[in-house]
Amino acid sequence: MSGKIARIEIDEAKCIGSDACVAVAPKTFKINPENNVAVVIDLNGDPFEYQMTAAADCPPEAIKLFDFDGHEIEINIDDIDFPKDASK
């Protein structure tokens, strides 16, 4: 279900480099070792559900996801439908 997200924004001032996003979506996010802030490495690296979970799991809520109309995607972890095959 990749491709539902048009843009991912990371608020560098809020990011604490906890690595929670990388743990959930390692093909989408990495931590920049120079400033200990998350960066997007591939917008379509992980399934949509993993990217949603990464944003939901971000301790300071520094990750925002946007759809193709430019609207911020509301994240409700209870509504995420995970793929049957969890192997990314």
What tens-digit pLDDT sequence spans the chain (88 residues)? 345 899 999 999 999 999 999 999 999 999 999 999 999 999 999 999 999 999 999 999 999 999 999 999 998 777 777 665 555 4
Q: For the chain, what are the domain ranges?
A: 7-69
- Report the pLDDT value the prediction gives residue 82, as an integer from 0 to 100: 67
- Report the pLDDT value the prediction gives residue 1, as an integer from 0 to 100: 38
Q: Report the CATH number of the 7-69 domain.
A: 3.30.70.20
Q: Model pTM?
A: 0.84
What is the Cα–Cα distance from 28 to 2, expressed in whole angstroms? 11
